[in-house]
Amino acid sequence: MEYSNLPHTDIEVSKICLGTMTWGRQNTELEGHEQMDYSVEQGINFFDTAELYPIPPRSDEYADTERIIGTWFKKKGNRDKIVLATKIAGKAEFSKHIRSSGFARESITNAVEESLDRLKTDYIDLYQLHWPDRTTNYFGQRGYKHDVPDHWKDNIHQVLETFQDLIKEGKIRHVGISNETPWGTMRFLEESKVHASLPRTITIQNPYSLLNRLFEVGLSEIAIREKVGLLAYSPLGFGTLTGKYLGGMQPATARITLFPNYTRYSSQTATKAIEKYHKLAQDNDLSMAQMALAFVNSRPFVTSTIIGTTNMEQLQENIASIDVRLSDEVLEGIGEIHSEIPNPAP
């Protein structure tokens, strides 16, 4: 395993982060525990979760993923060996069973307390806003439309003040953002620069893969210059970059088969790109999944790549991507495909 520091800290995290959003829906508690056991054996020390999980969210399964991690910590007694990240859900139609108030002080405080209880821990290493409070383009929206009704009032100072209080209480250590835009990222950074007592945003968890390299357009420069580490999610595009859906295949237990409304990475244009990446991998005797992950792992603005699997074979293959080095020929091939079909899955 390889490691990097969470920016502006001395906390060392594995370059592969274990994602958990299937636990409690597609995976049982036992299977979640098995994944954590194997991951730790392979040198992974970084877990990412959220109160929203498992996905797709349902009220009767609310926060079951955090509970599964909590029972594993209780059984193993190794909380101090893991860097733990979780997230607070924002206001949205699909999260109305959690809250309707957005990132108000009371909402954040209660969410942290409840996550601590479920996770069986006294502290959270990295606490993240799952998506922006304001109306903007995230979760597959390609462009920003300002004419969408948005009653948001700038609450970023208040959010950071709340986080600072929780840091002082020892309940969280550091803070991050997720599904953010360049404007939002700089707004958080600006607030903590102007008000030095407020905590600095150290990570951003956004989608990044061969099918979606939009992070490179405006956010990669911010990530490098401001030292805000990308925690890349969906590096395999809901599994499409394994090639398992090519030719119209629909594996019975696969994510898009079970949840066909998840079409973010399944457009005709995306499928054309996937076919080209699949051929490139085959021509170079590479697993398509490992080629896709190795590309993400190698980017200079990526702090850690979040993998999510539903079985041990997938987990083993994904973790092993850390040992894959892409040749100049493969990187050139990726560049050519990207130039021909750029960012087909926003």
- Rounded Cα distance, 257 and 249, in Å: 9
Q: Name residues whose C-beta falls within 8 Å of residue 278's C-beta, 6 or more positions apart in sequence.
A: 243, 246, 288
Distance, C-alpha 199 to centroid of its chain: 21
Are 280 and 333 spatial neighbours (Cβ–Cβ below 8 Å)? Answer: yes
Q: Which residues of 232-256 are buried (b: 16+ CB within 10 A; e: fewer)?
A: bbbbbbbbbbbbbbeeeeeeeebbb
- Rounded Cα distance, 318 and 69, in Å: 20
- The 8-class DSSP code of residue 137 comes to S
- Rounded Cα distance, 291 and 186, in Å: 32
- Rounded Cα distance, 314 and 294, in Å: 15
Secondary element (H or E) of residue 19 = strand 16-19
Secondary element (H or E) of residue 247 = none
Please identify every residue annotated as catalytic.
Answer: 53
- The 8-class DSSP code of residue 342 comes to -
